[in-house]
Amino acid sequence: MAKPHSASWRASLKLFELFGHPIRFVIFQRLSRQPMSAGELAKSLPVTRPAVVQHLGLLREAGLSRDAARARAAPALAGDPSAQQPGGVMKF
């Protein structure tokens, strides 16, 4: 078992904090099924589009999501096969 101050302990704590918000967890689940835009996600959730964008930003900062083309593209999970980098290397 990892010690409370080890890197793996801190990483685990970050994930618990990240998914401690129920909306963020639902967004992550939905993106695991298919890429969706912030607008598409907001239409099906009890939050505004700007709130979804903030949640997506936190997922992106944690390396769990990425924008397909950075503009109005639908975010995809970083570990998703459709999110492969050139050369077949997956970002995760």
Using CA atoms, how far residue 71 sits from 9, 11, 67, 91, in Å, is: 35, 29, 8, 19
Q: Does the pTM exceed 0.75?
A: no
Give residue-wise pLDDT tens across range 55-91. 999 998 888 887 743 434 556 666 554 444 443 333 3
How far apart CA 78 and CA 76 sit, in angstroms, is 6
Residue holding tokens 């992550």?
A: 28
Domains of the chain: 10-80 (1.10.10.10)
